[in-house]
Amino acid sequence: MNKLKQLPNSLLIVLIVAAAVAIATVIMLTAPTPERKAKAAVSRLVEVMDIKKSQQRPSWMAGGEVSASQRVSLTSQVTGNLISLNPLAIPGAVLDAGTSLAQIDPQDFELQIIQKEAAAGADHVPLIILTSRSVESKLMAAISDIEALPTISGDVTRIRVEALG
C-alpha cells in the first residue's frame, strides 16, 4: 500500500524531468545563430612619420650602470703646476698612444732637475725657495736670515720673475 501512495509522487517527478528535457531541446533547436561581423579597422595609437636619411644618432633614456672594461691610473714622475690640460682627456675617453694629456710648468720641472742633479754628486746642494708675490723688504730680510745660517755656504742667488706687458 505504501508503494501505491508513492507512485503519484514518482510519476510527477518523472513528468517534470521529461518536460524540462523537452523544453531545453526546443530552445536549443530554435535558438538563433549569431552572424559574424567583419573586423573593424583599428587606427594606430602611435604617430607615424616618413623616413628621411640623416646623419643623426639615435638616443633614448635608460637606467643602469656602465663600467669600463679597463681602468688606467696615471701619475706624473715629477710634481709641478699644470699650465695646460688636453680637453680630450676626460674620464672614459679613448686617446691615441703618445697624445699629450697635460703640460707641467717648465720652470717647476727644471728646478726639480737642478735639485736632483746636485743631490746626486755633492755634499752641498742648492736651496731653492719658490714664493708667491711678497713685499720686497720682507723678502730681502728672509734672504739675509738664510745667509746668516751656519749651514749655508756661499751667496744666495735671487731670481726674480716679472710679467712683461
Distances (CA, A) of 164 to 37, 84, 153, 158: 93, 20, 34, 19
**Whole-number Å distance between alpha carbons of 100 and 89:** 9
pLDDT in tens, 68-127: 777 777 777 777 788 888 888 887 788 888 888 888 887 877 777 767 766 565 666 666
Q: In one letter, which amino acid is 45?
A: L
pLDDT at 22: 95
Question: Containing H/E element for 12?
Answer: helix 2-30
Contact predicate 84/103, CB 8 Å: yes
Judge if pTM exceeds 0.75.
no
Q: Is the pLDDT of residue 1 over 70?
A: no
The residues near 83 (Cβ < 8 Å, ≥ 6 apart) are 103, 104, 105
pLDDT tens for each residue of 44-70: 788 878 888 888 887 888 888 877 777
**DSSP category for residue 139:** H
- Could you say which DSSP state residue 156 is in? P
pLDDT reading at 38 higher than 60: yes
* Cβ neighbours around 106 below 10 Å, total: 10
